A and B are shown apart, each in its own frame.
Chain A
Amino acid sequence: MRRLLWMIPLLWAVATITFFLMHAVPGGPFDQEKKLPPQVLANLNAKYNLDKPLLEQYVLYLWDLAPLKADFPPVKTPDLGVSFRTNQPVQDRIEVGFKVTAQLGVVAFLYALVIGMSLGVIAALNQNRMGDYLGVFFATIGTALPSFIIATFLVVIFSVKLGWFTVLGWGGPPALPWDAPFWDPGNWHIRQMVLPVISLGTLPAAYIARITRASLLEVLGQDYIRTARSKGLTEWVVILRHTVKNALVPVLTVIGPIFAFLVTGSFIVEQIFSIPGVGRAFVRAVFDRDYGMIMGTVLFYAVIVAVANLVVDVLYAAVDPRIRYG
Chain B
Amino acid sequence: MARAETIELSFEEAAQRPERGLWSDAFRRLRRNRLALAGLFVVGAILILAVLANMVDTVQRYDPAFDQDYSRIHQGPTVDHFFGTDSLGRDNWARVLQGTLISLQVGLGVQAMVLIIGLTVGGAAALGGRLADNIMMRFTDLAYAFPDLLAIILLRSVFADRDLPMMAHDTSQLLLVIFAIGFVAWVTVARLVRGQMLSLKERDFVLAARAMGAPPWRIVVQHMLPNALGPVIVAVVFGIPLAIFAEAVLAFIGIGLPPPTASLGRLISEGYSYIQVNIWVVTFPAVVLALLMLSFTFLGDGLRDALDPRTR
A positions within 8 Å CB-CB of B: 6, 10-11, 13-14, 17-18, 21-22, 24-26, 140-141, 143-146, 148-149, 152-153, 155-156, 159-161, 167, 264, 267-268, 271-272, 282-283, 286-287, 294, 297-298, 301-302, 305-306, 309
Contact = CB atoms under 8 A, between A and B. Distances in A.
A146 B245 contact: yes
A274 B145 CA distance: 26
A306 B149 contact: no
Given A301-B147, A305-B145, A148 B275 contact: no
Given A283-B153, A297-B150, 13 more contacts: A21-B158, A25-B160, A148-B245, A149-B286, A153-B290, A155-B275, A264-B150, A267-B147, A268-B249, A268-B252, A282-B150, A282-B153, A306-B145
Interface in B237-257: 241, 245, 248-249, 252-254
B218 interface: no
Closest 10 CB pairs of A and B: A144-B297, A152-B286, A301-B147, A25-B157, A24-B158, A21-B154, A10-B145, A149-B290, A264-B147, A144-B294
A7 to B, nearest CB: 8
A283 B269 CA distance: 15
Contacts of B150: 264, 267, 282, 297-298, 301
Interface in B257-306: 268, 271-272, 275-276, 279, 282-283, 286, 289-290, 293-294, 297-298
Nearest to B238: A144
Contacts of A145: 290, 293-294
Interface of B: 141-142, 144-150, 153-155, 157-158, 160-162, 241, 245, 248-249, 252-254, 268, 271-272, 275-276, 279, 282-283, 286, 289-290, 293-294, 297-298
B149 A267 contact: yes
A181 to B, nearest CB: 31
Contacts of B142: 10, 13-14, 17
B249 A148 contact: yes
B275 A167 contact: yes
Given A155-B275, A282-B150, A305 B144 contact: yes
A26 B162 contact: yes
A156 B275 contact: yes
B253 A271 contact: yes
Nearest to B252: A271
Do most interface residues of chain A lie in helix, strand or loop, or is the interface mixed? helix
Given A10-B141, A149-B290, A26 B149 contact: no
A159 to B, nearest CB: 8
B146 A14 contact: yes
A242 B249 CA distance: 44
B293 A149 contact: yes
Contact of A156 (B153, B157, B283, B294): B283
23 contacts: A13-B145, A17-B142, A21-B154, A21-B155, A21-B158, A140-B297, A144-B241, A144-B294, A148-B252, A152-B272, A156-B279, A160-B279, A167-B275, A264-B148, A267-B147, A267-B150, A268-B252, A271-B253, A272-B272, A294-B154, A298-B146, A298-B147, A298-B150
Given A146-B245, A286-B154, A153 B276 contact: no
A161 B293 contact: no
Given A24-B158, A152-B268, A155-B275, A17 B146 contact: yes
Contacts of B272: 152, 155, 272
A301 B293 CA distance: 27
Contact of B149 (A10, A21, A264): A264
A13 B144 CA distance: 12
B276 to A, nearest CB: 6
A268 B149 contact: yes
Contacts of B154: 18, 21-22, 25, 286, 294, 298
A145 B245 CA distance: 9
Nearest to B146: A14
Nearest to B241: A144
Contacts of A159: 275
A195 B278 CA distance: 20
Contacts of B148: 264
A323 to B, nearest CB: 17
Nearest to A294: B154
Contacts of B241: 144
Given A156-B282, A160-B276, A267-B149, A286 B294 contact: no
Contacts of A167: 275-276
A153 B291 CA distance: 13
Contacts of A11: 145
